[in-house]
Amino acid sequence: MRRTKSLDAGYFEAMYRKEADPWKFETSPYEQAKYDTTLAALGDRIVGRVLEVGCSVGVLTARLAGRCGSVLAVDVSETALEAARSRCAGLANVAFGRMGLPNETPSGVFDLILLSEVAYYWDSGDLMRMGEILRAKVTPGGWVLLVHWTGETDYPKTADGAVAELSTSAGEAFELEFAQRTDDYRLDLWRRRAEVECS
């Protein structure tokens, strides 16, 4: 049965305490191929300031660091963040923080916000709030990159449902620049309309 409320920090902390890499981000060929596709969606551009929401143990964070000026990687699990900090210890342009969006938000604005495997953990209320955050935090001309597994879960939303609700909440501030769908996941790259200022 599908959950009705957003998954809280305790859910994820328990996962990481039970198993260091519960989703096998470090070893799964599926995850590595998905990360290749995620980074390829950015083309050959070097992105300025990036916010990675739900960085987990930092596998994608480490790869993302080579494609941007700076990365702020956040997660709700301190156990996951400890592993991520260790993995990225030599990367001067990466900073970490324990933060649970959308109830907590970082300061400043970003050229890219990455939501990889996180939006379907939120209920409709949190997706609405997250859409407002995207409008406020993405620079004109910047991007939101969403990647979500499309298989069955007990999360509050499906991948398709989460992306649709988030798109409705973000509104006309964003346009779809690129989309890709495989048998296992969907990828959506939104571009912030340059003529719409951050609120």
Please indicate, yes or no, if residue 81 is contained in any of the structural domains. yes
CATH of the domain at 151: 3.40.50.150
Please indicate, yes or no, if residue 31 is contained in any of the structural domains. yes
Q: What is the 3-state secondary structure (H, E, C) of the chain?
A: CCCCCCCCHHHHHHHHHHCCCCCCCCCCHHHHHHHHHHHHCCCCCCEEEEEEECCCCCHHHHHHHHHEEEEEEEECCHHHHHHHHHHCCCCCCEEEEECCCCCCCCCCCEEEEEEECCHHHCCHHHHHHHHHHHHHHEEEEEEEEEEEECCCCCCCCCHHHHHHHHHHHHHHHEEEEEEEECCCEEEEEEEECCCCCCC
Percentage, residues of the chain above pLDDT 70: 97
Please indicate, yes or no, if residue 4 is contained in any of the structural domains. no
Q: What is the pLDDT of residues 32-56, one digit of tens each?
A: 999 999 999 999 989 999 999 999 9
Please indicate, yes or no, if residue 152 is contained in any of the structural domains. yes
Please indicate, yes or no, if residue 198 is contained in any of the structural domains. no
Please indicate, yes or no, if residue 2 is contained in any of the structural domains. no
Residue 6's pLDDT is 97
Please indicate, yes or no, if residue 3 is contained in any of the structural domains. no
Q: How many domains does the chain have?
A: 1
Q: What is the pLDDT of residues 129-162, one digit of tens each?
A: 999 999 999 999 999 999 999 999 999 999 999 9
The boundaries of the domain holding residue 50 are: 9-192
Please indicate, yes or no, if residue 153 is contained in any of the structural domains. yes
